Structure formats: structure tokens, C-alpha cells
Structure 1
């Protein structure tokens, strides 16, 4: 090192410009080595002597090759000398090996996912074709619950708007994407849920994430209480919020209250839950959730993604359904008392399922909407939905609102399929909603069942496995629509019956013999009454209040910003 020190004294600008006293001071406070590491001469030498125990910082990681230096300018050399190799002599991470290892784990535990090439046919819904256009299958797992994705009126409106305004939005809402179509759509959504305002997002995943994460960042000491079966979007939002959280047992009010009671009423809180849980079909006790929220000073965050369009006389979801007759009579107006839907603080929903297009939204009081609009990065920095999409969605909501017969017909098909499966012992996880989950119980058999239905019976039902559901609760998830008539339903029932025999899958009595699972074969399981009662299933479009047919809906000021 002595020869290196002498070389430094002759040529190093840093050494030349520092007195001996200054150098001694640097040595005493351990800064000398750091400074030397920046030197083109000392740096490589130090690096060559280093014993690696951890990753080097980028700036300090030097090549071990010797470097010939002729004329030195210290600052310029550090910044721009292309002859200096700043790479480390450590071994780089094997990224590809990591990817391959993780994928192999999923293949071994049968949770690896294959995406089938399914091309839905607008004119033949609910049919689709596979890669070959002649190879057609019947789709039984679509979330286009009402078939609005093929609605001709929506289609025509989107084409008309596209011809005038183009195919894109041009940017985010705050820069180039705000327009009459966004204002109209948010007005329609607010009217549907009978709220003061609404805000449209690119998806409901983005909406849930953006809203919950913002609350955590803006409310000090916020605590979020989340149902254990909540969707991944809410889980992600809660994680990103960095707020304290409690996970309560699914729909367990006692467990939730025990958690709420741990905090003063003054502590800011959110109870986050769904109305219809899409993989099991269970329904939240919304009214009782609101009771607890009011008792303990919490806001309610309700995800109605798998309920909007299908529940309530106008398709506003389960919250509307709980005051069914009052909303049926009042139509687009509000009943003369505070309803369950009024009591829910935040309602999120999707525009890509029952409304048949794409997008997500929040409906709430105008101040809350304005706050989200003004502060949520997930809204502010995301390109707006195209005008044609929003125009088509406004039309779709108006059609769905005034067409109770689609909701009724869907529920009748659901009831028929569930009843037929019950009679032949096919294990349907019990629930009061439109979801028909067939319990299989392991990933390998679920995949085999899905493949066999597709390849042999020309029926598409995707297998559901971990992490969407817990290991050991794998299932096939069936979602009847108004367009799955009796003949189509009978084909499904016969095919599933044969398949269960071919693969020797457990039927209800088999699950009962081992004590039941997921509610199937459980002796203590009480029969669940469908949300759509026999009385409601007799309704037609003529029973709707005429004010829902072509309502004039006032545009929302909050969509553009409230002027003071």
C-alpha cells in the first residue's frame, strides 16, 4: 500500500488539494476510506483487497482490473470516464432461475393457470369459439351476467360516439380526458345508487386500491376491518394504505364487533366488505354491518361488484335489494325514509360485468367524491376511459335499470340449475345468490373436470384454485345468465352428471360421510332462502315505476369540480 500512497501523492488531485491535517481528520472519523474509494487509483486497489460479505454499494463497487491513468481530472474521471469499469466482481442474481423455480412450484401443486382461448360471439351469446372459429363451446362462467356485452343498443351508441369523438380519451381526466361522457356516466351511476356523486375509474380493482390506500395515507391512526374473504383489490388497497388492519371471520358480526370495541369511537375506522362473494356466493349482512359502523364510529366500504345489475328492482345491488318494495315503488326517486343503501358510506362497483363493457366506480356523498377526485393518485394519474366506452356504459345502465325481467329470468335459471344439481347429488356450495359453485376439493381434479367439460362436452367452466380459493376448496364456478334457456341448462346438467361419474368425484353424500366441507353435506347447514323470493320472481317490467323508463338526470357538478 506504501507504493500506492506515494503514487497518489504525485498524481491525485484530491490528495494534492488536502492538507496533512485534513487527511488525518478524515482518517479519524472513518471518512478517508470512503473518499479513497472514489479515486481511480485507490478505488480498484481497495476493491481488490476486499473480502466480500455483502453486496457493495454501486458507487463503491469497482473492477479489480488495473487501470492505466495518464492525465487525471478527479471529478471528470468519476463522472464520465468510459474506461473505468464500475461493475462488481460479485455474481449477479439468477433472475431466470428464480422465475423458473417459482413456476415449477405452481405446476407441482397443480395451481399453475392455463388461459383458454375463448372468443365470445356477440350474435350467438352465450356461445364462444376456441382458436379455430368452427370449434364452438357454451360459456358457463362469464361475468357478463346479463349479456349486455352483446346488446345492440349499447353497440350502436358506442359506434356513434366513436365516429364523432374517436377511439381514445386523449389523457387523464385532469389534463385531456374530461368530457361530457364522463359527466353523464357519473351522473347515471350516482342516480342508480341514489348518492350525491360518483367517480369512474379504469377498473374496480383500481378503484378499491386507490380509495382504501388514500384513506390510510390521509387519516392518521386509521384502522381498517376487512372480511377474510374480501377480493384481492381490497386486500391490495389495505396493504398500500399502511393502516393498521384487523381481518374478521367471514360475515361474523360478533368477531367484527369484538375488534371494533378495542378502539375508542374517535379512532378513524373503515369496515370493508362485499355484498356478494363471487367464489362462494355468500351474501353480507349489510344492514347489521351499518349498525356496527354507526355504533363504533366507522365508515362502511361496500364492494357491490358481483351484485350490481342483478339485485334490487333497478340493479343497484344488494343494498337496494334489502329495501326492495320501497325502491320499486319510488323508482328513480328516493323512498321517504333512510334506506340501507343510504346508510352505506361508499359503494364501489364494476362496469365490466353486468353492464357489459369495462371500468369501475365509486358512489358516495359529494364531499367524499370530491376528496377522492382531488387526492387519489390511482384516479388522477390514470388515462380516462374512452368517450365511446363511457357513452355505451351510460346507455347500458339505463337499459339495465328499466329491465327487471332480465334479473328475474337470470334468477329463474339459477334456481333451476341449483335444483337439478341437488336432485342428482352434485355438490353445490349453498348460498342465496346467483353463483353456482361446484365443490371438487383438489386442484388436479378441478383442472381435469374443466378440461373434460371443454374438450369432450363443449362446455367452458374454468377451474378455480389457490390463491382465489383456499387449498382443498377448489371448485368449478358456474354463472347462469338470462340467455341460458332450459335446453342449454339441461345440457350442462347432463354433462356434469356424466363427468362426475367418469372422474369419480365426490357427490353430496360422499361429503356428508366425512362430516361435510364448505357447507356441502353438513347436517347442521340451514337451507338458505334465495334473495329473489317467489314474490319478486313474478315481477315484470310493467311493475316498475314509469319514472325509470327515460329519466332526465341532472349532471353532477362534482364530476368537474365544485365551484365556490
Structure 2
């Protein structure tokens, strides 16, 4: 297995090798993380609404542990479909204003399972070039043709749709908010193209669920496009602060997935205690409007601070703020410099992002105060000047 060592050496030389570092929560200081004995302001978490350590969720899981046990014991189609699942799926369907909902182990399995259930060899998937890796892998596993359109380029998508203007199944799939760029998909135009060309439309709300919509339903609801989207997908591992994923849509869609989505059929069901925790998190997401409002305020403040300093952070209004620095080594050194100043902000490098666009991906939480964010932005600007990322 010497080839592995050579490949790893090449990754290290290109500043692309990855490794694990241990983190712990800081219960008395929301918005912070404990890394190697140091308390750091956590600007790299997807815990957008600050629910990951909410006592009501912890208590709901504790109670379910005592009544339902530790594990589900089987896949959902065998004996793992425990009582908390049905309750949660009814609540999800009501929340999304859809006919039915389905809980799946995680976002990766949801995307790969749904895409593989809807299309196969001979069909075609139209996918934004910046879609999450789980979507890309779902297309590959489905064995369908992968027609990738340039990021948010609707004319390029139209060209591809014209190229495949035939009777095969066509699926358009997009992130609602792109995980490494923080900007939104052009959903109105995607809906118009889906209707014009007779395609299905699937929207991944992983980074928009809980944040947009009157009750956190997601960007499709906020834009009034809920009924125009065929497959609503989202996760419980970000705004919900827990773990897992959901699909909502028609009863026919959910029946089909129960029979065709391989990651669901052939995986052990999530522990019932976790499902109970998700149900409590859903209640909080729907009711705690102040969390969305606070997150929106924090995002505007932090974005404007970095923009005014002269950084390239792209467009968007989400809590995902990419500071693009270009090369991999600069991104790593920038991240290390931030850590020395008490800020946890991870460098994101290829293949997660395109070559030449390495970045620090900041992600904010409703638990961050204005003072913390203003001080962080000042620190980021100072380091940017020191490293030549910013010009005086």
C-alpha cells in the first residue's frame, strides 16, 4: 500500500491534506468551541439557530431513551419503524404543507437515495455546478446522464434542456442556498424551465431550512414556490441542531421512495430517541421566530463589516460568508492566524470548492452577539492586511 503514502505526500505538498481535530461544546458560552484546551469563537459551525445543545431537545431525547431504548434494531421496513417516526413525519408534512413526509438517516443518503429512485440509466439529471457532493454522487450512483450547468446560469441550463428534449425522465436538482458560497439558487427561473421542459424539480434546503420562511419551512416557501417544487429535501443537522434528513412531497412520491430508495431500504433506522429529539427541534424551529431574526441581523452585520473592509465575500444574505483568498496555502495560513487570535474558522480547499478559490468559510449562529462579530471582523481585517489578502 505504498501508493497511499505517495498520494498523501502529494496532497500535503499541495496543502490539500486533511486531518481531524477534537472539539467540545462550551455550555456556558454559546457560539464557542473548545479545541485542544482553548476556547475559540466558533465561526465554522452549521448550528445556525443555536439549538444543538438546547435543554428541551436533550430532555426529549432522554425521555425517549428510557421508553424506546438505545437503537431501532432494524431497517424501517423490517421492525425499525418505531412510534416517534410516524409522529415526526406527520408534523413534517404539516410544516411543509405537503401530502406526506419521510425521514432518512442523513442528507447524503437522502440525496443519493432520492435521485437514484427517480432516474436511472438512459435518464438525465440537470445539476448546478456548485451543488453539494451528495447530489453529485447521487447522480453518479443513479447511472443517469449528468448534465451540469454553470452556476446559476439559466441560459446554459436552457441549452442543455434543449439538447435532451425527448421523452426520457428529466430531473433538475439544486441547492436552495449553496453550502460553500452562501448565495441562493434562481428558483423562480428554475420553476419556469421545469414547467416548459416537463422536468421534475428537486430542491435541497439543507442550508436554508429553519432560516427562511415564516416558520422556517425554507426558501421555496419564502418565495411562494412550494407547490411548484416536486421534491423538498432538507436536513436536521444544521438549523435543527440534531441529525438526519427529510423528504416531503406527494403521497405518490413517498410511496415510491419507500419501495425504491435503497439507502432507506437497506439501512438501520435512526434511533427513536434521536427522532424524538428532532420532533422537539421542529417545534422550536417553528415557534422561535426570534432565532431567525437574530441570525438575519448577525448575517447583515458581519457581511457588511467584511465588505466595508474590502474582502471578496460574494453575494447573498445567508449566514454562510465565504472569504475567498485563492490558493490553498494562504487559506491554511489565514485559518491558523485566526485560531491564534481565538477564532475557529476552517479553510475550505479543493475538491470541495473549485481550483483557485480556496477560502475561509465563515458560518454564523443566532447565538453570536454584535460585539463578538464586530471584534471578529476587525481581527479578520488585520490578518488580511498582514497577509496581503487585503491592500492598505
TM score, norm. by length of structure 2: 0.97
Q: Measure how far apart 1:175 and its partner are.
A: 1.7
| Corresponding residue of 1:410 | 295
Give the CA deviation at 1:288. 1.6
Give the structure 1 partner of residue 21 of structure 2.
116
* Corresponding residue of 1:364: 249
Q: Aligned residue for 1:560?
A: none
Q: 2:215, 2:354 → 1: CA distance?
A: 34
Looking at structure 2, the residues matched to 245 and 499 of structure 1 have their Cα atoms a distance apart, in angstroms, of 41
Deviation of residue 428 (structure 1)?
Answer: 1.9
**Match in the other structure for 1:175:** 78
Ranked by relative contact order (alpha carbons within 8 Å, sequence separation 6 or more), the top structure is 2
Q: Secondary structure at the match of 1:124?
A: coil
Give matches, 1:188-203, under 5 Å: 188-203=91-106
More strand by share: 2
Match of 1:444 in 2: 329
Alignment of 1:180-259 (within 5 A): 180-217=83-120, 221-259=122-160
* In structure 1, distance between residues paired with 2:355 and 2:149: 20
Is the contact between residue 46 and residue 364 of structure 2 (CA under 8 Å) also seen in structure 1?
no
Matches within 5 A, 1:116-155: 116-132=21-37, 135-155=38-58
For residues 254 and 146 of structure 1, the distance between their equivalents in structure 2, rounded to whole angstroms, comes to: 36
Mapped to 1, the partners of 2:240 and 2:270 lie a distance apart of: 15
Q: For 2:348, which of 464, 469, 472 is the aligned residue? A: 464
Structure with higher Rg: it is 1
2:274 aligned with 1:373 = no
Give 1:504 shift: 2.2
Find out whether 1:102 has 2:3 as its counterpart: no
3-state DSSP of counterpart to 1:278? coil
Distance 1:111 1:413, change over 3 A: same
Select the residue among 273, 278, 286 that pairs with 2:179: 278
CA contact (8 A) 1:265 1:296 kept: no
Q: Flag structure 2 segments of 5+ consecutive residues without an equivalent.
A: none
Any conservation in 1 of the 2:119–2:169 contact (CA below 8 Å)?
no
**Post-superposition offset of 1:369:** 0.6
- Aligned-partner Cα distance in 1 for 2:294–2:360: 22
Deviation at 1:269?
0.5
Q: Given that residues 310 and 390 in structure 2 are in contact (C-alpha distance below 8 angstroms), is that contact kept between their aligned partners in structure 1?
A: no
Question: What is the TM-score of this pair, normalised by structure 1?
Answer: 0.68
Q: Secondary structure at the match of 2:326?
A: coil
Q: How far 1:192 moved relative to its partner?
A: 1.8
Consecutive unaligned residues of structure 1, counting only runs of 5 or more, are 1-95, 324-339, 510-564
After superposition, the CA RMSD in angstroms is: 1.4
State how 1:4-15 maps to structure 2 within 5 Å: none
4+ residue runs over 6 A deviation: none
- Is the CA contact 2:48–2:319 (under 8 Å) kept in the aligned structure 1? no
Match of 1:307 among 202, 208, 212: 208
